[in-house]
């Protein structure tokens, strides 16, 4: 009797795709009422935030909304945190804001 032993190695291509250990949509939905209120004011609503990283995982998120007189985009990384200011278009909804955060992650990872 011949026994054949097989070993299967599973690899997950992570690359620059972040793994979310926190729910970004929960934070965005909680904040979206403020975005809608500010959209009627003079100025452009901006998402201001920080993402805390552990390796390739986002383990913390802080978000707020502010008004600026014009559109400005800024992001930078400091150690294990990514800071950003992103102009928001309320018509793009929470999903549009999420995609902008993903763009920041791609740029800074």
Residue 2 has pLDDT above 60, yes or no: no
Whether the CB-CB separation of 44 and 70 falls below 8 Å is answered with yes
- Please report, for the chain, the start and end positions of each structural domain, with discontinuous segments joined by +: 19-108
Q: Mutual orientation of helices 24-38 and 93-108 as an angle, nearest 10°?
A: 120
Q: Give per-residue pLDDT as tens, 12-71.
A: 444 557 789 999 999 999 999 988 888 877 889 999 999 999 988 899 999 999 999 999
Which residue is it, tokens 């930078």?
Answer: 76
Q: Which residues lie across from 40 on neighbouring strands?
A: none
CA 6 to chain centre: 40
Please name the residues in contact with 60: beta carbons below 8 A apart, sequence gap of 6 or more: 22, 50, 51, 52
Which residue is it, tokens 């026994």?
Answer: 3
pTM above 0.75, yes or no: yes
Which pair of structure tokens corresponds to residue 83? 């800071």
pLDDT recorded at residue 3: 53
């Amino acid at each position: 009797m011949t026994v054949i032993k097989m070993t299967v190695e599973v690899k997950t291509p992570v690359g620059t795709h972040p793994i979310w250990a926190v729910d970004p949509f929960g934070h965005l939905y909680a904040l979206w009422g403020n975005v809608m209120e500010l959209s009627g004011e003079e100025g452009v609503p901006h998402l201001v935030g920080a993402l805390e990283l552990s390796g390739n995982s986002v383990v913390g998120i802080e978000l707020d909304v502010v008004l600026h007189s014009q559109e400005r985009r800024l992001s930078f990384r400091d150690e294990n945190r990514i800071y950003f200011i992103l102009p928001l278009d309320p018509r793009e909804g929470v999903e549009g804001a999420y995609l902008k955060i993903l763009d920041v992650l791609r740029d800074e990872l």
